[in-house]
Amino acid sequence: MYFEDDEWKALLIRTGAKADPQSGDEPSLREAMRLVAQLGGFLGRKGDGEPGIQTIWRGLQRLDDLTVMYRELTRILTARQRPP
């Protein structure tokens, strides 16, 4: 897959996709790119066609920020669960 684990999990959480990030089931590349495009402003209406380069680029930039946040929150929550 093109996306790392943390990236696609952050993507699924942020976009409210029906897939469960905890299940380990990665979305297909097409599904993931459509979700990235949504982050970039793509609406996905019937007559919209496929997302363009700029929309995907904006979505990837937002995904980078979301991934950093996901990793940081995961690190914090994991540290809190460890016994002292």
Q: What is the pLDDT of residues 32-65, one digit of tens each?
A: 999 999 999 999 899 999 999 999 999 999 999 9
Q: Are 12 and 5 in contact (CB under 8 A)?
A: no
Number of H helices and number of E strands within the chain? 3, 0
Residue 66 has pLDDT above 70, yes or no: yes
The residue whose two tokens read 């990837």 is 60
pTM above 0.75, yes or no: yes
Per the CB < 8 A criterion, the answer to whether 60 and 77 are in contact is no
**Model confidence at 79, in pLDDT bands (50, 70, 90)?**
confident
pLDDT at 84: 64
**Residue 19 burial (10 A CB sphere; 0-12, 13-18, 19+):** middle
Which of the two residues, 60 and 81, has the higher pLDDT score? 60
